[in-house]
Amino acid sequence: MPIRQLDIQGVRNLAPLDITPSPLVNFIYGDNGSGKTSVLEAIHLLAAGKSFRSTQVRQVLSHERDRCEIRLRFQRDDETPERELYHLRLKNGDHLFRLDESLLSAQSQVAALLPVQVIEPNTFRLLSGTPEDRRQFLDWGVFHVEPAFIEEWRMFRQTLKQRNSALKQDQGDWLDVWNSGFIESAARIDQFRKAYLTLLVAEFRKTLASLDDSLDVNLNYYPGWDRESDLASVLERQKDRDIQLGFTQSGPHRAELRITVNRVPAAEVLSRGQQKTVVSALKLAQGIVFKQQTGTAPIYLVDDLASELDARHRLALCQVLEDLKCQVFITSIEKNQLMDGWAPADFKVFHVEHGQLQEETLA
Ligand SMILES: Nc1ncnc2c1ncn2[C@@H]1O[C@H](COP(=O)(O)OP(=O)(O)OP(=O)(O)O)[C@@H](O)[C@H]1O
Ligand SMILES: [Mg+2]
């Protein structure tokens, strides 16, 4: 799924740039504050519709411009023609996404075309963050390998909203109307997630072993309600409390992926470097499953590769990326932290200085 050409304007401190990346490995290095993360952020803004560092997308726009524009040409694989994706965002929040000449109505259409995975210094937060963070991680995978999932999830959210509104208005009788749809939809979502997780767990174990064979980490899926009971009886049991609270306590919106070491949450026992390794293994495993299911790999954005990882773990991570034959953009402060011990088959090196990105010619 390589990006063939990338054109960025009006993002943070970056001077307008137009590059032809390698379809495999792209190294970006430069001093602190030079603009490395901003390059990855621009790709992510188009592909995922948000920044991975600021909650306010507005912050990504250059202080000196009233708009940012990101345009790229990508190719699903060698057999398919190149297509163009374009994103325009104004300071006032207005924005649009375009595929070739057609406007796209939803960002999820871009996400489906250009799947990206991010590994960055705050990546370990997947372990220490909220259940929702891990649910979103899980659903990224389900969304990309099961086309029916997004529509099912949309319908479920709608039913949940109606059920919650009936609860808030204390209309207990109406609950039965919503319950059957809620339960059926919950069962389908649960099936999608379980089927995906079976694939993910197998790849996660292999990937983690290749990054660090001393770590023994378990993934446990919790559907969002007491596993010993069926959802109908859980809803019945919780009905009075649901009415008191004004929302539905149990259901797939409360699903959770528990990540543990000896039954203790991984975030509470693992070192920062070990946490980064585990989360990297999870994200790499998602890419591997994605490739098995779709025939093409997602694009990896690896920001500040060296943070928290020693040379051995860095090399192991790069090796998995190389084996996946995906396009990857990796940043680092020092050039030798990237090249040290790793010589991928096809790569380009870019240097960033004060927002100016230059491709280096390789000797
Ligand atoms: N909206 C903005 N407009 C202009 N410049 C900005 C904006 N937001 C941040 N900057 C500046 O852009 C520069 C690039 O930041 P970026 O995080 O991309 O650097 P980096 O190369 O990743 O640095 P580090 O090695 O410290 O991670 C910084 O100097 C930052 O102060
Ligand atoms: Mg950075």
pLDDT at 259: 97
How far is C-alpha 58 from the chain's CA centre? 20
First to last CA, the chain: 28
- Domain final position from 240, 272, 297: 297
Residues 236 and 307 both lie in one domain? no
Q: Rounded distance, CA 252 to CA 30, Å?
A: 44
Which atom in ligand 1 lies closest to the alpha carbon of residue 41? 18
Residues 175 and 143 both lie in one domain? yes
CATH code, 306 = 3.40.50.300
CATH code, 250 = 1.20.1050.90
pLDDT at 363: 66
Residues 142 and 248 both lie in one domain? yes
Q: Per-residue pLDDT tens for 27-64? A: 999 999 999 999 999 999 999 999 998 888 999 999 99
pLDDT grade for 273, boundaries at 50, 70 and 90 = very high
pLDDT at 337: 74
| pLDDT over 90 at 107, yes or no | no
Residues 34 and 18 both lie in one domain? yes
Q: Rounded distance, CA 199 to CA 192, Å?
A: 11
Residues 151 and 288 both lie in one domain? yes
- Domain final position from 297, 312, 335: 297
31 is in an annotated binding site: yes
Those residues whose C-beta lies under 8 Å from the C-beta of residue 318, and which sit 6 or more positions away, are 305, 330, 342, 344
Determine phi and psi for 129, rounding to 5 degrees: -75, -160
Domain with 71, as residue range(s), is: 1-115+299-363
Tell me what percent of the chain is helix, strand and coil, each rounded to the nearest 5. Answer: 45, 20, 30
- Up-side HSE of residue 102: CA atoms within 13 Å toward CB? 7
**Atom 7, ligand 1: residue with shortest CA distance:** 12
Distance between Cα 41 and ligand 2 center (Å): 10
Distance between Cα 31 and ligand 2 center (Å): 9
CA angle 197, 303, 149 (to 5 degrees): 30
Residues 158 and 283 both lie in one domain? yes
Among candidate residues 308, 312, 222, the one with its CA nearest the CA of residue 270 = 308
Residues 234 and 254 both lie in one domain? yes
Domain count for the chain: 2
Distance between Cα 36 and ligand 2 center (Å): 5
CB-count burial class (<10 Å; 0-12, 13-18, 19+) for 55: exposed
Residues 266 and 346 both lie in one domain? no
Residues 290 and 346 both lie in one domain? no
Residues 350 and 279 both lie in one domain? no
**Atom 31, ligand 1: residue with shortest CA distance:** 33
Residues 289 and 306 both lie in one domain? no
- Domain final position from 258, 281, 297: 297
Which whole number is the average pLDDT over 65-87?
A: 94
Among candidate residues 273, 333, 258, the one with its CA nearest the CA of residue 303 = 333
pLDDT at 345: 83
Q: Per-residue pLDDT tens for 116-171? A: 999 999 988 899 999 999 999 999 999 999 989 999 999 999 999 999 998 888 77
Which atom in ligand 1 lies closest to the alpha carbon of residue 63? 3
Residues 178 and 78 both lie in one domain? no
